[in-house]
Amino acid sequence: VGPISLLHVEDDPNDRLIMSILFRKVAPDLELKAATDGVEAVEALSKAPRPALVLLDLKLPKKNGFEVLEWARSRPELDALPILVLTSSSERGDIDRAYELGASSYLVKSVDMAAMREIARGVAQLARLREPAA
Amino acid sequence: MKTELAPPAGHHLLQFYVETETLARNVAAYFADGLRRGERALLVATPEHAAAITEKLSEKGVDLDGFTRLDARETLERISSERRPDERLFEEILGRLIRDTIAASRGFGLRVFGEMVDLLWRDGRGEDAAALENMWNRLLERQRFSLYCAYALDLFAPGSRVPALTTHTQLLPTGVDGQLERAVERAMRETLGAEAVDALLPLIRATLHPRALRPGPEATLLWVRNHLPDVAAEVLARSRAGFLSGRDAG
């Protein structure tokens, strides 16, 4: 059994870098995989082993985050997978649409590194509780 | 329970309840405040709830002149076509009644409590319930009134389905003075351990919720149900026990 893995779907290389640094710091026991657009996300979720959870940006090339959500929730095998939206948008319309399409949570990126570290710590804990046997 | 007593027109409040007593007390508080301000009140409820709410209003000594009662099941049948809510009938019957009642209020406004959606929900007709919620929302955009709807739903029961929170503007709180919040946090610590909860709570607090849900213990309970289904039953049972013992002691 390998380490618990998380999938971070994010097209911005700086945001990917920050999240990978934070995860190495707060959760070195977890493996953070990355997808840089919606199509890569769909490919990653289509094959085993699947991640314990997904952090999903909304503004993505090729297939946006809403489309990825809609696709994932139409697949019975991904129905229970936690998909946490992590985006720069705090627009009410985006929040409601994400929940209507099946997002588990909606989080907004912060420029405050302490706030982002808290998010990473919570996400890591959630992943460990979801897959305690891994 | 701390009810928002003066919701602005256009607001669509949501309450989950288990006991008729709690529901009747809250709806009576919502109506009593409006009636005392000169607003009208329209109750679309089951006979059992209508009796309990009317009784509570009467205990408060409120003048019931501006109070109108409709039977929820009967009204639901009247606005339905082929057993489904029909927007044309909804507009003809409820839309007209609401417009006329608002006009009769001479500018003071109207508060509505309705549980037709709950009847549909309890019958397993979630799509029809959502369609009716949307009809109410379209009417709320055009007419000056507030709407309070309630679902017989036990938040502490892990298997219970939760209606769409995006169709409401506010979920009313369950407890008073932090009772529920303390019970939920203690239940999480007892079930998951302090270290895990210290990591999870900032994440839960950073979460932006669906429209009706404010940060607080209800949001935390729903988060646990959605994200940690394997331990949710234990957290919910401990939360219920802690909440009820705190409430009874208070």
Sign of CA dihedral B8, B13, B18, B23: positive
Residue B210, chain A, CB below 8 Å: the answer is yes
Considering chain B, what is the average pLDDT of its residues? Answer: 86
pLDDT, chain A, mean: 92
Tell me if B166 and A119 make a contact (CB, 8 A cut-off): no
Q: Higher confidence at residue B156 or residue B130?
A: B130
**pTM for the predicted model, two decimal places:** 0.72
Residue A89 has pLDDT above 90, yes or no: yes
Contact A69, A99 (CB under 8 A): no
Helix, strand, or coil here: B63?
coil
pLDDT band at B107 (very low <50, low <70, confident <90, very high): confident
Q: What is the model's pLDDT at position A98? A: 95
Determine the 3-state secondary structure of B26 from DSSP.
helix
Alpha-carbon distance A84 to nearest alpha carbon in chain B (angstroms): 9
Q: How confident is the model at residue B55 (pLDDT cuts 50, 70, 90)?
A: very high
- Strands B80-81 and B84-85 turn out to be antiparallel
- The pLDDT tens digits of the residues spanning A39-72 come to 999 999 998 889 999 999 999 999 999 999 999 9
Q: If you measure CA to CA, which chain B residue comes closest to A94?
A: B210
Instruction: For residue B3, give the 3-state DSSP assignment.
Output: coil
> Do A122 and B226 count as a contact with CB atoms less than 8 A apart?
no
pLDDT in tens, B32-47: 999 999 999 999 999 9
Whether cis (ω within 30° of 0) applies to the bond prior to A51 is no
What is the three-class DSSP state of B173? Answer: coil
Beta strands in chain A (DSSP E): 5-9, 31-35, 53-56, 83-87, 105-108
Given a cut of 90, whether residue B14 has pLDDT beyond it is no
Contacting B with CB below 8 Å, chain A residues are 80, 82, 90, 92, 95-96, 99-100, 104-108, 115, 118-119, 121-126, 128-130
Percent of chain B residues topping a pLDDT of 70? 90
Looking at residue A48, what is its pLDDT?
86
Mean pLDDT on B230-235:
87
Enumerate residues 6+ apart whose C-beta is below 8 A from B21. B52
Task: Quote the percentage of chain A above a pLDDT of 90.
Answer: 83
B177 pLDDT exceeds 60?
Answer: no
Residue B79 has pLDDT above 90, yes or no: yes
**How far is the C-alpha of A112 from the C-alpha of A117, rounded, in Å?**
9
Is the CB of residue B165 less than 8 Å away from at least one CB of chain A? yes
pLDDT score, position B6: 64
- A16-32 pLDDT, tens digit per residue, is 999 999 999 999 999 99
Residue A32's φ and ψ, nearest 5 degrees, are -100, 115
User: Which has more pLDDT, A89 or B162?
Assistant: A89
Q: Which residue has the tokens 């610590």?
A: B189
Q: Which of B138, B142, B201, B137 is nearest to B164 (CA)?
A: B137
Q: Which residues of A touch B220 (CB under 8 A)?
A: none
User: For residue A76, what are its two tokens?
Assistant: 């019975």
The mean per-residue pLDDT over the stretch A2-13 comes to 92
Residue type at A108 in one-letter notation: V
> In sequence order, what are the beta bridge partners of A21?
none
DSSP B143: S
A54-80 b/e (C-beta count within 10 Å ≥ 16 → b): bbbbbebeebbbbbbbebbeeeeebee
Q: Under an 8 A CB cutoff, do B165 and A125 touch?
A: no
